[in-house]
Each structure stands twice: as C-alpha cells, then as structure tokens.
Structure 1
Amino acid sequence: MDVFVYGTLTEPDRVAEVLDSYVYVGPATLSGLHLVEGRYPTLVPGGETGGRLLRTEEMDALDEYEGVDAGLYRRVAVPLDAPEGHPDEAAVYVGDPDRLGADATWPGGDGSERDGSVGDRAGDDSGFADRVDRYLEREAVRVRLTPGDPV
C-alpha cells in the first residue's frame, strides 16, 4: 500500500526502526490538509503539505507506530494522482488535534457546521473520526506524486 508520510516517517532511519520492508516511491504533496505541530505533527483542513510517498505492506506496524488503537491517529484513504501503474489511493494518517495538543480544530466539532446528519444535532459534539470523514467527503483532498523530483 502507498502511504503519504509527512513527519518522522520521512526519515529513513526512523522508518527502518518501524518497518522491515518498504520503499520510498517519491516526493509527494497532499492538497486539502496542512501540517500543524503538537506533541506530534498532524494535519488539519486547508492548504497543502509536502512529504513522501512510502510503499509497504506492513500496515499493522504503521498503525501501531501511529497509535491508531489508542485514538491518536486514524488512517484514511485519499485519491492518489500518479502515473499509470500506481494505486488509485494513498493512506494518510490524521491525528486528533485534541489528543495531540495541537492548536487546531476540525469543522463540525463545535456546533459551527451542521449538515443534518445524526452527529450534527444541536448540542451533540460529533467525534473526531466523523468530522474527518465528512470533511474528506466534501473536499478535494488528494495526494499528488511528483516523480522526477529528488526523494
């Protein structure tokens, strides 16, 4: 699977500590989400983020590293713009700003955005995962591989 990485996993030494088998496909840009710092870096709506496309089959190891079961990050799939022969989607790890101490919010968590879905009832603070999913459904978030650039 191809994974867009933007933080510590852009460093080969760190990836080698987490994965037994991987390859960097090339530099990539994530459109529709931008980087914010907290205890660990994460992504929030808007802008762009530069990073790398990493290919591995060891998704369980990445999920563990990213703290998916602990609720720190969640793995989402976004469209991948890349030459033929590449997958149609790339995985992206999005961290919960509240859990990571990042000064950022996702739309819909404070009652400011209502679309009529169950999680959007007045007084109902929908969960982080629901807010991310709704944003990804509405916005053109995607990863663009930029082959030919240095990795």
Structure 2
Amino acid sequence: MKVFVYGTLMQNHRANFLLSRQKYIGPGEIYGFSLYKVSNWYPGVVPREGDRVKGEIYELIHEAEKTLTRLDDYEGEGSLYQRILTKAVDQKGEEHEVFVYVYNGTVDEEKYIPYEQQPWRG
C-alpha cells in the first residue's frame, strides 16, 4: 500500500512524523491533477486534465492499515479531503498505485500553484 503526499506530510514539514516509520520511495508526480493553496497552512489537489503535481511517494510498511487511518483522520477524509486511488510516477519513470488526498472544497484559481513552483514548501 502506497501514498502520494504533496503538502504537510512531505519530508521536512510539520506532519511528516505520521510517515516516519514508513518507506520513503522518493520524489514523484501525479498526472491529471492541479495544486492549489487552499489555506495559509496547506495545499490541496483537484482533478484537472493535462496538469501534474510534484510530491513524494511512500510505501506503508509498518502498521499500514493503522497508518492509513491516522492519515485519514489528519486529512479530514470524507469532509475536507477524499482519499482516492491513482497512479504516481517516480524519478525512474516507474508507476506506483497510490492513495492521494484530493481536496473536497472549491479552489480559487488565483491560488493555483504552477508545476514550475512545485513542490509546495509552505
């Protein structure tokens, strides 16, 4: 079971401790999504054809189900974000089936974060 993260769960960010016992695969990208600043503290991705988002790929190797539940709680799964299955590509070009948290609200186009300005750094 793998996850793709693009915000506060990435390395050197405040919530990365939730993934501290998991296997870091490395930088990756998801296609068909756009990145937005949705608050002063965190970003969100929404589906958008032709766009892509930079982030990190992790494999949940320690207490995977429990970790996924913790991530769901942290992300507000079902309200603020929705966890979906998609594909991510790592730096070697290998595809990974990953869970990603998609923002469930309305985004402001003025807060779009272009690919060239990614990954998000808070």
Name the TM-score, length of structure 1 as normaliser: 0.56
Match of 1:103 among 108, 112, 121: 108
Match of 1:91 among 69, 79, 99: 99
Specify whether residues 49 and 19 from structure 1 end up closer, same or farther in structure 2 by C-alpha distance, changes over 3 A only.
closer
Q: Point out which structure has higher relative CO (alpha carbons under 8 A, 6+ apart).
A: 2
| 1:72 lines up with 2:73 in the alignment | no
> Secondary structure in 2 aligned to 1:68?
coil
CA distance in 1 between counterparts of 2:29 and 2:89 reads 10
> Secondary structure in 2 aligned to 1:21?
coil
Larger Rg: 1
| Overall identity of the aligned pairs, in % | 32
Matched letter for residue 32 of structure 1: G
**Structure 1 segments of 4+ aligned residues over 2 angstroms from their partners:** 11-14, 18-21, 79-83
The Cα of 1:20 is off from its aligned counterpart by 5.7
The Cα of 1:88 is off from its aligned counterpart by 5.3
| 1:48 lines up with 2:48 in the alignment | no
- Root-mean-square deviation (CA, aligned residues, Å) is 2.3
Runs of 5+ in structure 2 lacking a partner? 110-122
- 1:25-62 Cα distance to aligned partner (Å, 9 max, x none): 11101111010111231112131111110122110010
CA distance in 2 between counterparts of 1:63 and 1:6 reads 15
The Cα of 1:72 is off from its aligned counterpart by 0.3
Aligned partners of 2:30 and 2:87 also within 8 Å: no
CA distance in 2 between counterparts of 1:72 and 1:61 reads 15
Aligned partners of 2:4 and 2:88 also within 8 Å: no
Aligned to 1:11: 11
